[in-house]
Amino acid sequence: MRILAIERPVPGIAEYSFTPELGVAEARRAWDLHQTGVVRELYFRADESAAVLVLECADVAEADRALASLPMVSAGLIRFEVIPLAAYPGFARLFGPTSA
């Protein structure tokens, strides 16, 4: 199942909490998840500093566990909105019966 994960702010977190060491650990764990196929795509939003991930997991619970393994998530500095995705069904209208 494809899952979209959008980083959301955690209120009250100071910018100095995001240390260079934590950034390296976060990147390393994201790399590990990418190499195992859990993280399929990883982006930063162009309009703000927030990560957007596309995951491939059996279900939302597996995605939650994978995201919880990220150091910044486990430290409570960031969180993700997790959205399960399904294939777009609208193309079926192109091949179904037409109404007159």
> Domains plus CATH for the chain?
2-86 (3.30.70.1060)
SS3 43: strand
**Binning pLDDT at 50, 70 and 90, where does residue 92 land?**
confident
| pLDDT(25) > 70 | yes
pTM here? 0.89
Listing DSSP states for 44-87 in one string gives E-SSSS-EEEEEE-SSHHHHHHHHHTSHHHHTTSEEEEEEE---
Q: What is the pLDDT of residue 93?
A: 87
